[in-house]
Amino acid sequence: MIPDLPNLPKADIQPAQPAAVMSGAAAIQVGPTFSPLYQQIKSLITQSLQSGEWKPGELIPSEVELAVRFKVSQGTVRKAIDELSAENLVVRRQGKGTFVATHHEARSQFRFLRLKPDIGKQQYPINRFVEVKRIRAPGEIARLLDIKVGDSVVFIRRVQSFEGVPTILEDLWLPGAIFKGLTAELLNEYKGPMYALFETEFGTHMIRASEQLRALPADETAAELLKIDLGSPLLNVERVSYTYGDKPVEIRRGLYLTTQHHYQNELS
Amino acid sequence: MIPDLPNLPKADIQPAQPAAVMSGAAAIQVGPTFSPLYQQIKSLITQSLQSGEWKPGELIPSEVELAVRFKVSQGTVRKAIDELSAENLVVRRQGKGTFVATHHEARSQFRFLRLKPDIGKQQYPINRFVEVKRIRAPGEIARLLDIKVGDSVVFIRRVQSFEGVPTILEDLWLPGAIFKGLTAELLNEYKGPMYALFETEFGTHMIRASEQLRALPADETAAELLKIDLGSPLLNVERVSYTYGDKPVEIRRGLYLTTQHHYQNELS
DNA sequence: CAGTGGTCTAGACCACGCT
DNA sequence: GCGTGGTCTAGACCACTGC
């Protein structure tokens, strides 16, 4: 008897379940391209993040609530959120809920800053903005930002110092269409990571970046601004940053002085 | 009736389940320190990997088999293996089973080699071993390898070339106790990644590494071996590699020529 | 105490690889 | 056809948070 019992209730609702799985999929995504339910849920949640339905730092609906909304089991929602959490798009907090990831947080201050002091504790550098202007996108920048050559881009040049020592000279290019009101004043007023400012002021949340590193000799500009000899070896870091939907929204070209610092990387 | 049915069978076995969960934990790990069952399972599987019960490339028991062995549900084993898979300790293949990760595989050839050509496809470099000898561990090496100063270590110096261009000058230090029969002949006979050789010949599987990067001027040795000017900027990569149990088993100090190549890194 | 995420179980079916 | 991992469900209880 008892060994059969677990199957009895199943026998009543089971026929609807494979149908529910498939029709659930069909209801969400019509067509021949099939993907697991939890991937579709994940994609729906990402869309809500992208659309700004839930903003950085905010609490998103609970797993049970989302399960009801999407008409799937809590386990399926859980798996979708698990992946989003692994990709740092959301942060889970036991007993409290799931929150949209934000760059305003002690924990994420150093998420995209891999330069660490050889000795002592990592701390956030002081910014000095050397130049902020709008220019027409050169070919290479336009290509990387996926915009048209000649489109407006914001160009920023800054020097970052650790304990008074100028250590990073960095040039940035941002699509003018997105970063409309970006001025030197705004940048100077702001403390902390630029990505936090971008998130709050321009609704653009960086979620991923790709970097290419090489060693280069200091040119005249770098030598002057970093107060080093012409030709000194510098770590050149070229970065493309992406927001939701793998859309590139920032180009950086940094020159790192690595006499007292190093770029830390974990391989696995 | 039916709404109650799901609870009835539970009512019979449920009292045993929390006990089973807890006693399962107790059976595996006695003491006050509690950790989730799947973490304990994960740790047990890792021990089997470390002990060599399942060797690199081999098939490990199926999820159901492990569930029976450890007296837990398949879902719990699955979660344990999911994490091991995420850490690249095992590789899952649908329809075939779960395999112990190995460095002998096209897919993992470049896992620890982040240097990519600026143009064209990544390919494996040609090795030239300049020096292979046994020395007494200097202080810094001993500290990093967690051995005693003066203990025997194998020192290797090699130059790696891409398409005939010498690009990487690398010094390695390995614990002599582990790498007993390592000779220049053995290294020269072997094609492909050194980690594959280490795995097969010395039973040491690298699972993780930590790197520190900086820009340095070429010294006389580097200038000569890489055929570049003295003082040319080189990318210096210092690596500590770890095997199971976070045991350090290799130190590398590489000088990368980055005129035609770059070090690729993804941030998230 | 209620609500949230975290763990664990049991059982079903699907997709894949091999024989 | 069978065995594997992959997906999905339903339901239970635990651990943590805040009222």
Contact at CB, A231 and B231, closer than 8 angstroms: yes
> What are the structure tokens assigned to A130, written together?
């050397």
Closest CA to A24 of A63, A69, A64: A69
Instruction: Give the SS3 label for residue B188.
Output: helix
Contact at CB, B214 and A235, closer than 8 angstroms: yes
Residues of A in contact with B217 (CB under 8 A): 232-233
pLDDT tens, position by position, A30-60: 344 679 999 999 999 999 999 999 999 999 9
What per-residue confidence (pLDDT) applies to A50? 95
- Rounded to whole angstroms, the Cα distance separating B241 from A265 reads 12
Q: Report how far apart, in Å, the C-alpha atoms of B142 and of each of B80, B154, B210 are.
A: 34, 12, 17
Q: How far is the CA of B97 from the C1' of C13 (A)?
A: 19
Q: How far is the CA of B38 from the C1' of C7 (A)?
A: 9
What per-residue confidence (pLDDT) applies to A33? 61
The distance of Cα A59 from the centroid of its chain, to the nearest Å, equals 18
Contact at CB, B215 and A233, closer than 8 angstroms: yes
pTM of the full structure: 0.89
- The bases of strand D with some atom under 7 A from any protein CB are 3-18
Q: Which residues neighbour A181 within 8 Å (Cβ) at sequence distance 6 or greater? A: A201
- Rounded to whole angstroms, the Cα distance separating B231 from A156 reads 31
Taking CA–CA distances from B9, the nearest residue in chain A reads: A2
Per-residue pLDDT of chain B (268 residues; tens, 9 = 90+): 223 323 223 222 232 233 333 333 333 333 445 799 999 999 999 999 999 999 999 999 999 999 999 999 999 999 999 999 999 999 999 999 999 999 999 888 899 999 999 999 999 899 999 999 999 999 999 999 999 999 999 999 999 999 999 999 999 999 999 999 999 999 999 888 899 999 999 999 999 999 999 999 999 999 999 999 999 999 999 999 999 999 999 999 999 999 999 999 999 9
What per-residue confidence (pLDDT) applies to A1? 29
Q: Give how far A260 is from chain B: nearest CA, Å.
A: 10
pLDDT band at A68; cut points 50, 70, 90: very high
Contact at CB, B209 and A111, closer than 8 angstroms: no
Q: Which of residues 81-110 of B touch strand C (CB under 7 A)?
A: 93-96
Q: CA triplet B171, B176, B181: central angle to 5 degrees?
A: 95
pLDDT tens, position by position, A196-231: 999 999 999 999 999 999 999 999 999 999 999 999
Amino acid symbol at A103: H
Q: Is the CB of A79 under 7 A from strand D?
A: yes
pLDDT tens, position by position, A157-207: 999 999 999 999 999 999 999 999 999 999 999 888 899 999 999 999 999
Q: Which of residues 195-214 of B touch A (CB under 8 A)?
A: 207-214
Q: How far is the CA of B129 from the C1' of D12 (A)?
A: 61
Q: Where are the beta strands (DSSP E) in chain B?
A: 59-60, 90-93, 97-100, 115-117, 126-136, 152-162, 165-175, 208-217, 233-243, 247-256, 261-267
What per-residue confidence (pLDDT) applies to A24? 34
Taking CA–CA distances from B118, the nearest residue in chain A reads: A212
Q: Does A88 touch chain B (CB under 8 A)?
A: yes
Q: How far is the CA of B94 from the C1' of C18 (A)?
A: 12
Q: Report how far apart, in Å, the C-alpha atoms of A239 and of each of A47, A170, A210, B263 are.
A: 25, 11, 6, 12
- A107: phi then psi, degrees, rounded to nearest 5: -65, -30
Taking CA–CA distances from A85, the nearest residue in chain B reads: B268
